[in-house]
Amino acid sequence: MSAMDSTHTAPIRMSCQPFFNPLVDALLISGLLSLPLVAWSLLGPPYEISPLTLMMIFIIFNWAHFASSTVRFYTKTGEVSRHRFLAFGLPLLMLAAVLAGIAAPDWFGKNLTALFLTWSPYHYAAQAFGISMIYVYRSGIAPSVMEKRWIWWTCMLPFLTALIDLRDRSISTAMGVGGIRWILPEHVILASADWIHGARMVLIPFIFVLPLWLMLRGRLPWLAGTLIMTNGLWLVALPYYSASIWITVAHSIQYLCLVTYVHAKDNRAQAEASKSPSYYITTFYILSALVGFLLFMGLPQVIGWTGALSGGEMNMAQTAWMVVVAINLHHFIVDGYIWRSKKPAPRAKPVVETPAEAHLSQMV
């Protein structure tokens, strides 16, 4: 009999082992810091954020986050040799996609954008699952296969509800593409609109009921449960266009916290703790922020200058947008490989790790 079939009910896991401390993990990794913004967006007066402020937020969080996965990949021992295509072939493929999106914006560029917008909520859901499972292991819980499936589908529900939301046109209006309207023909959507909307309304309560149920059974730590529910709240409560901006910020903070934690841990182990964790965290973040700035600001300029020198006319807005789309897709693929990466052969002096630490080291 699996643990899910047991009639025993355990208390909520309040002893979940955090990465930093319970407050920092709850605010930054579980996303509780974002709840005032969600409440303001729903209840407060309409607000406008200046382009300069938004740019600074992106530079500090989003761009550094996207670059951090690349920096981590190229600096982590053995990763390049194990993933040759990821290291050399994928960047060239993404550059080719950028050029194709610039050359054919109404066809290739539009569909590449739709792929990015459709993949994004799945990526957020997958990250919520990965981090939640790490908290499960860190809490000393040994989940059954059925429990893992329940947690997986609980994390996937926000993605599914965002995908099939027909009444929120904020993305399709702004970008021209997105969600199920990209996947299904319009006549199919019109014929089944009521059914699709009804299915979405049925799914939404489970985004919050399922993690709460697992928490009450003691099979999901409170930091993991709140993470799953805040991720769902972002996609359900906010218009998807706003969610696509603010979820990326919250998602970036989550990722930066974890990747800097693991980077500092690994480097201190290799250097026999010759420097403090704050040194490795600071240097890694600065390098990631610099690489992110060069990718998002420098790469479109280089492509534009190259096109101008070759005698072609470059639409710089389209060029910059295609670079943004390609960087996102590259990040999704790199994360997908790394999360499933197998660890290298044991070292001469193996370091004893908890299941959570081993899983996290593989992940990032």
pLDDT digits (tens, 9 = 90+) for 290-336: 999 999 999 999 998 887 777 667 788 899 999 999 999 999 998 87
Q: Are 289 and 63 in contact (CB under 8 A)?
A: yes
The pLDDT value given to residue 351: 37
Enumerate residues 6+ apart whose C-beta is below 8 A from 276. none
How large a percentage of the chain has pLDDT more than 90?
Answer: 44
User: Would you say residue 127 lies in a domain?
Assistant: yes
The pLDDT value given to residue 227: 95
Is the pLDDT at 4 greater than 50, yes or no? no
What does the pLDDT look like over 199-248, one tens digit per residue? Answer: 999 999 999 999 999 998 889 999 999 999 999 998 888 887 777 788 88
Provide the number of structural domains found in the chain: 1
Q: Are 141 and 219 in contact (CB under 8 A)?
A: yes
How long a stretch of residues is the chain? Answer: 364
Q: What is the C-alpha to C-alpha distance for residues 87 and 159, in angstroms, rounded to an integer?
A: 29
Identify which of 154, 153, 130, 136 has the alpha carbon closest to the alpha carbon of residue 13: 136
Is the pLDDT at 345 greater than 70, yes or no? no
Tell me the residue range of the domain where 297 lies. Answer: 11-42+57-342+355-363
Q: What is the mean pLDDT of residues 165-194?
A: 82
Q: b/e map of 283-299 (b: 16 or more CB within 10 Å)?
A: ebbebbbebbeebbeeb
Is the pLDDT at 15 greater than 60, yes or no? yes
Is the pLDDT at 9 greater than 70, yes or no? no
Between helices 299-309 and 90-103, what is the axis angle to 10°? 60
User: Would you say residue 48 lies in a domain?
Assistant: no
User: Would you say residue 52 lies in a domain?
Assistant: no
Strands (E), the chain: none
User: Would you say residue 305 lies in a domain?
Assistant: yes
The tokens for 290 are 């610099």
User: Would you say residue 347 lies in a domain?
Assistant: no
User: Would you say residue 5 lies in a domain?
Assistant: no
Out of 47-51, 118-122, 164-168, 344-348, give the one with best mean pLDDT.
Answer: 118-122
For tokens 């490795």, name the residue.
Answer: 280
The tokens for 36 are 């005032």
Q: Are 232 and 245 in contact (CB under 8 A)?
A: no
Q: What is the C-alpha to C-alpha distance for residues 320 and 301, in angstroms, rounded to an integer?
A: 8
Q: What angle do CA 116, 332, 49 make, to 5 degrees?
A: 60
User: Would you say residue 51 lies in a domain?
Assistant: no
The tokens for 138 are 């860190």
The pLDDT value given to residue 1: 41
More confident residue, 233 or 12: 233
Q: What is the mean pLDDT of residues 60-79?
A: 90
User: Would you say residue 67 lies in a domain?
Assistant: yes
Q: Are 16 and 221 in contact (CB under 8 A)?
A: yes
